[in-house]
Amino acid sequence: MSVFLETEEIARLATEIASDKQARDIVVLDVKGLCSFADCFVICTGDTKRQIEAIHQGICAMLKNRDVIPLHNEGASDSGWMLADFGSVVVHIFAPLERDYYQLDKLWSKAIPVVRIQ
């Protein structure tokens, strides 16, 4: 039986998995009203290609177990950025250099930070 998960629950589960996989600087941004394609961003940093891949796979596997499948995946651990688009929630996993370069936190500075885990 499929159970519909709310945006907040998807973001919470993604954040928990990222934390369990030792991601750093995890931020959940409420972008409702600022963004036409999502309600929430989960942004985190992985220190190695292997860790970035593990975070991405862990989040996708956990949500798949709850019948939440990404609409789109993008990037690769080799590029220093991976994305999983779950519709209302978009998860960005960066390597440190790419996180500094793209500065999504700054780009979406008008968004409401819901969670910040250093």
Domains of the chain: 7-112 (3.30.460.10)
Q: CA 114 to CA 116: how far, in whole Å?
A: 7
The rounded Cα 32 to chain-centroid distance in angstroms is 16
Confidence class of residue 4 from pLDDT cuts 50, 70 and 90? low
Q: Which of 11-15, 33-37, 47-51, 89-93 shows the lowest mean pLDDT across its residues? A: 33-37
User: How much is the pLDDT for 5?
Assistant: 72
Q: CA 72 to CA 77: how far, in whole Å?
A: 16
Quote the DSSP letter at residue 67: T
Confidence class of residue 77 from pLDDT cuts 50, 70 and 90? confident
Burial class (CB in 10 A: 0-12, 13-18, 19+), 17: buried
- Average pLDDT, integer, range 71-76: 94
